[in-house]
Amino acid sequence: MERTFAQLRETLYSAVVADACDQFGLRNQSIQLSLPPQTTTGVMIGRCRTSTWEDIFSEDPSPYELELKLVDSCQTDDVVISAAGGSTRSGIWGELLSTAASNRGCAGVIVDGAVRDVQKMRAMEFPVFAAARCVYDSCHRQRVNSIDEPVEVGGVTICSGDIVVADEDGVVIVPQAKSDEILAAAWDKVHAENVTRDAIKEGMGAIEAYEKYGVL
Any known ligand binding at 95? yes
Amino acid symbol at 209: A
Q: Which of 18-27, 44-53, 143-152, 202-211 has the lowest mean pLDDT?
A: 202-211
Check the annotation: does 122 bind a ligand. Answer: no
Average per-residue pLDDT for the chain? 92
Q: Model confidence over 123-175: pLDDT tens digits?
A: 999 999 999 999 999 999 999 999 999 999 999 999 999 999 999 999 999 99
Which tens digit of pLDDT belongs to each residue from 104-120?
999 999 999 999 999 99
78 appears as a binding residue in the annotation: no
* Separation CA 153–CA 96 (nearest Å): 24
Tell me whether residue 133 is annotated as binding: no
The whole-number pLDDT of residue 101 equals 98
Q: How far is CA 58 from the centre of its chain?
A: 31
CA atoms of 216 and 208, how far apart (whole Å): 11
Please give the pLDDT value at position 179: 97
Residue 193: what pLDDT?
A: 61
97 belongs to an annotated ligand binding site: yes
Q: What is the mean pLDDT of residues 92-112?
A: 98
Question: Is-contact 126 37, C-beta < 8 A?
Answer: no
Half-sphere exposure in the Cβ direction for 7 (13 Å, CA)? 9
d(CA 141, CA 56): 5
For residue range 3-43, list pLDDT tens digits in order: 999 999 999 999 999 999 999 999 999 999 999 999 999 99
Distances from the Cα of 139 to the Cα of 47, 89, 93, angstroms: 27, 11, 11
- For the chain, what is the total number of helices (H) and then of strands (E)? 7, 9
* Exposed/middle/buried for residue 98 (C-beta within 10 Å: 0-12, 13-18, 19+): buried
Q: What is the pLDDT of residue 2?
A: 76
Closest CA to 17 of 64, 211, 8, 104: 8
Comparing 87-91, 167-171, 195-199, the range with the smallest average pLDDT is 195-199
Rounded to 10 deg, the angle between the 95-103 and 65-72 helix axes is: 30
- What is the pLDDT at residue 210? 57
Centroid of chain to Cα 117: 19
Confidence (pTM) = 0.91
pLDDT exceeds cutoff 60 at 213: no
Fold of 5-176: Glucose Oxidase; domain 1 (3.50.30)
> What are the residue boundaries of the structural domains of the chain, listed by start?
5-176
Half-sphere exposure of 209 (CA within 13 A, CB side): 17
Per the annotation, does 96 bind a ligand? Answer: yes
